């Protein structure tokens, strides 16, 4: 049996890690490859590290359905500092007679002599360094030096796949930039729903919401954040405002009875319309609480929260983004949602119109009255779309 061992912090695991594992798996004709999650690697001193059990979960999510490649928790289970030589020992005992390949990034090779017991490592596994074609270093010379000093064999495996780093994913999360092209959708979902890598002020909001909302509602909220950031990037809106509005859009979305109780207890007056349709309360009240309880002062953000249920004639790009993100975020599943998602990344107005039409049809079909303002907003959107089409045609004519 040929077994690969590919350790890493995986904070978080990204497409580059997975592609590297696949590439080495094929090239070395391995039977099995274990991606070992580092618990507390001695060569890094990072106190902000995501807890190991969460990093393991992300890795497992990324590898679901993957043939031959699996996540390993061997270093997490072992108490104390994790040394590669100990990890190899575990696999050596578990798979007697197997040939082991220790897979490391090419940049690790230079420091290899400083690792604990390099000789021991080289006696148990072939050291496989993944190199990039553009590497400035003479990797073979470094590899020869290791073979000479510690014995064993160093294999160089060239990897031409995507050059992604976990650091870049964490930076993007902090700066409200999309990460969907850098990691598996299941990992992305995990990052958002668990509120990983977010700036302190956003984490603090999530923690408050955690106490108030049902888990399902909270997950929907975090996935709306994901979608809003993505739409903001696409359409040129402020991604931080989109993130803030999205995380607070359902901040008081409780089941109807609880919501009415909340209003009663806290002395919030309700209109007749709101009493008849309690779902209308949470957007208005949400905007109020965003200001009073969460300290948001930006009127654009507050408006986006207030308008996310009914929309409004003349609503801003940010308003539309929050409205649409709420209805198309990845955990939403209903007929027609795929088409709306696609449209949302083409034209936000026509996506918004599609979404409004869908919910108006749904409301009518379930025997309830469509809110009178809905028609006006839909007409306004249709007009905006038509105007855009006209001016597009005019430009074409002028250019032609």
Binding site for Fe ion (CB under 5 A): 250, 326
What DSSP assignment string belongs to 315-354? --HHHHHHHHHHHHSTT---TTHHHHHHHHTT-HHHHHHH
Q: How far apart are CA 377 and CA 367, in angstroms?
A: 21
For residue 319, give the nearest of 238, 395, 263 by alpha carbon: 238
Identity of the residue, 45 or 216, whose beta carbon is nearer to Fe ion in the bound complex? 216
Q: How far is the CB of 23 from Fe ion (least distance, A)?
A: 41
* H or E stretch covering 70: strand 69-72
CB of 41 to Fe ion, least distance (A): 40
Q: If you search the block for the tokens 């050059």, which residue do you land on?
A: 163
**For Fe ion, which is the closer residue by CB, 5 or 302?**
302
Closer CB to Fe ion, 326 or 343, in the complex: 326
Closer residue to Fe ion, CB minimum distance, 227 or 250: 250
**Contact residues for 108 (Cβ-Cβ < 8 A; gap 6+):** 129
Give me the least distance between CB of 230 and Fe ion, in Å please.
16
- Preceding omega of 173 cis (within 30 degrees of 0): no
Sheet containing strand 69-72, edge to edge, reads 69-72, 32-37, 2-8, 99-105, 125-131, 154-158
Q: Point out which residues pair with 155 in neighbouring strands.
A: 128
Q: Which of 289-304 are b and which e, b meaning 16 or more Cβ less than 10 Å from the residue's Cβ?
A: bbbeebebebebbbbb
Alpha-carbon gap, residue 138 to 218, rounded angstroms: 50
Pick the closer one to Fe ion by CB: 39 or 247.
247
Q: Minimum distance from CB of 196 to Fe ion (Å)?
A: 21
Query: Which lies closer to Fe ion via its Cβ, residue 85 or residue 285?
Result: 285
Q: Which of residues 54 and 360 has its CB atom nearest to Fe ion in the complex?
A: 360
**Paired strand residues for 156:** 129
Closer to Fe ion by CB, 75 or 326: give it.
326
Burial bucket for residue 23 (CB in 10 Å: 0-12, 13-18, 19+): middle
Taking the least distance from each CB to Fe ion, the nearer of 188 and 250 is 250
To the nearest whole angstrom, how small is the minimum distance from the Cβ of residue 249 to Fe ion? 6
CB of 178 to Fe ion, least distance (A): 20
Which of 139, 305, 140 has its CA nearest to residue 225?
305
Alpha helices in 95-165 (DSSP H): 118-124, 139-150
Q: Which is nearer to Fe ion, 184 or 250 (CB)?
A: 250
CB of 384 to Fe ion, least distance (A): 23
Q: At closest approach, how far in Å is the CB of 55 from Fe ion?
A: 29
Q: Give the nearest distance from C-beta 327 to Fe ion in angstroms.
A: 8
DSSP three-state, residue 314: coil
> In the bound complex, what is the minimum distance in angstroms from residue 107's beta carbon to Fe ion?
43
CB 157 within 8 A of CB 128: yes
Instruction: Please give the full DSSP string across 4-43, using - where no structure is assigned.
Output: EEEEE--TT--HHHHHHHHHHHHHTT-SEEEEEEPSS-TT
Residue pointed to by tokens 């030589």: 85
């Amino acid at each position: 049996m040929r077994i690969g061992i590919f350790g890493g912090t995986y904070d978080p695991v990204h497409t580059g890690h997975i592609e590297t594992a696949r590439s080495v798996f094929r090239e070395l004709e391995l039977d099995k490859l274990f991606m070992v999650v580092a618990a507390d690697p001695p060569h890094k001193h990072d106190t902000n590290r995501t807890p190991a059990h969460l990093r393991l979960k992300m890795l497992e999510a990324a590898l679901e359905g993957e043939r031959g490649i699996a996540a390993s928790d061997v270093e997490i289970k072992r108490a104390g500092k994790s040394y590669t030589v100990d990890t190899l020992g575990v696999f050596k005992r578990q798979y007697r007679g197997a040939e082991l390949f220790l897979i490391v990034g090419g940049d690790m090779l230079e420091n290899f002599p400083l690792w604990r017991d390099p000789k021991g490592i080289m006696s148990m596994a072939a050291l496989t360094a993944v190199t990039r074609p553009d590497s400035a270093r003479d990797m073979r010379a470094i590899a020869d030096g290791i073979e000479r000093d510690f014995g064993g064999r160093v294999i160089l495996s060239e990897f031409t796949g995507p050059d992604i780093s976990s650091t870049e994913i964490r930076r993007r999360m902090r700066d409200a930039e999309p990460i969907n092209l850098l990691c598996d959708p299941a990992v992305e979902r995990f990052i958002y729903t668990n509120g990983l890598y977010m700036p302190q002020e956003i984490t603090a909001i999530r923690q408050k919401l955690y106490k108030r909302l049902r888990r399902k509602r909270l997950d929907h909220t975090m996935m709306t954040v994901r979608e809003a950031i993505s739409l903001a990037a696409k359409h040129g809106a402020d991604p931080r405002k989109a993130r803030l509005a999205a995380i607070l859009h359902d901040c008081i979305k409780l089941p109807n009875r609880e919501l009415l109780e909340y209003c009663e207890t806290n002395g919030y007056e309700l209109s007749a319309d709101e009493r008849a349709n309690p779902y209308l309360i949470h957007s208005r009240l949400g905007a109020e609480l965003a200001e009073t309880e969460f300290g948001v002062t930006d009127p654009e953000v507050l408006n986006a929260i207030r308008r996310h249920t009914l929309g409004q004639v003349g609503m801003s790009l940010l308003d539309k983004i929050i409205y649409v993100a709420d209805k198309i975020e990845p955990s939403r599943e209903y007929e027609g949602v795929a088409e709306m998602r696609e449209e949302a990344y083409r034209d936000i107005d026509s996506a918004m119109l599609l979404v409004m039409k869908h919910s108006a049809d749904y409301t009518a079909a379930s025997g309830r009255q469509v809110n009178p303002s809905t028609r006006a907003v839909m007409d306004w959107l249709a007009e905006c779309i038509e105007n855009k089409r006209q001016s597009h045609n005019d430009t074409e004519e002028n250019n032609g």
